[in-house]
Structure 1
Amino acid sequence: MVIPRHLAVIMDGNGRWAKARNLTRTHGHRQGVVAVREIVSNASQLGIEYLTLYAFSSENWSRPASEVRDLMGLLRLFIKRDLATLHKQNVRVLVIGSRLGLADDILSLLEKAEDLTCQNTGLTLIIAFNYGARQEITDTFRQLAKEVEAGRLKPDEISESLISQSLYSGGIPDPDVIVRTSGEQRLSNFLLWQAAYSEFVFVDCYWPEFDMQQLELVLVEYGRRNRRFGSVEREDVELEQNAVASGG
């Protein structure tokens, strides 16, 4: 089983999991938190260095107010209850996404999670909260434009590397594999820049059902992939060269 350095997950299907059991969407989100605890523990156990979880997108604010309120309540509860455990497990917490307009107590909790765990050296847990990849890219280019306008940066100094370092996720390696649960097969505005060479694995189970067995199946599938990063197999090059040399 091949272990990726960075695993990213679109945690999808809480509501449908609940609906299939005649439960409320809130019950589904609560069970989703249980799955979050499990994947953090399992990722640490397997030696994954970075785990990014798509917790709340910038588009999710358009959901019914009652559901948004419940989600914010679960976030508050998760940080208050689980932060000490994460810290004890040597997990470093990072939050990516826009922080403009967030409620003061939510912002304070996110900052507390980052500050408390900033020196930890185990798994880095990246929580994508109020996150949208298009907004991330827009914010990045807007900031680079300001640097150019101020004379601190020349246009021809803008490189892929500089853009990557200037994103919300600057300093974090790109994900090796992106998983989406629930059977949907789209990125939904998640890590669009960073996913350029990521492997995608789409699984049919809903997020609350995603356990160690499901994670291991994902890693087995990931291990089957041939990551060429735009290049070709060395054997293919050698076969072609031999064919040319032999006049074939």
Structure 2
Amino acid sequence: MADNLVGKSQQDGIPGVYGGNDVNGNGVVGETNGIGHGVFGQNETGHGVAGRAWHFGAFGVWGVFGDSEVTPPTSDHFGSPNSAGIKGTTANLAAVDTDPQTKLKTSSGVVGEVSNPGSGFGYGVLGLGHKDEGVVGWSEHGAGGKFHAVDGGGIIVESEGSWGGQFTSTKRGQIKLVPREVAFGTDPQGNPRPKLPRFAESGEMTMVTQEGKCSLWLCVKSWKPGGGVVPQTDARWAEAKLGAAFNGET
């Protein structure tokens, strides 16, 4: 590679760095052998980095991480050329670690993070769709999507003109509730009853387990906050009765 270059514009309308095209079809190539960034863009009033592609099957920005100097091939999961404003690719030869706090793998094609934590500070990833879905998850051997929240709901689905959510699988269950261990008490008749959250909204469903046995519960009345002389109203739950269990065959 040539000597390091710093692009900085002193005039509006003039880019700090402009990449036309090299022999390999790249407008701009950023490379680092240290701890910095291959490409870093910063702008006070505009875009830090803007990428645009004209041809179908190309990407406006393609960010690649790999522990090998060989550029990974494009995905072979699509039957036709795939285009995107941004594509993130990760190609790991070594085993990927798991983060001890989030329990998630530490390598991803794209990561979106809100750096100022707290409610109301924005989304880690936002997908907007006009004629199709805002966000689509697809997996060849795993789940199409996984959602986890520490203090809130794992996933919220809202819709005004169509179905709230579509979950499709040809080989596994369409949706999975992860059973959780909870403390049990008894109802007025002496039957075992799980101790479920008092803060919940109607329609929430949870599967709990005790000594290897699972039961399914539905919130049938939302909690209401209290104030003044009005006491708080806790959420109410009802058990969803299940039929007899049997072994799967397919």
Which TM-score band applies after superposition, normalised by the shorter structure? under 0.3
Larger RCO, structure (CA 8 Å, separation 6 or more): 1
Which protein shows a greater Rg?
2
TM-score (norm 1): 0.23
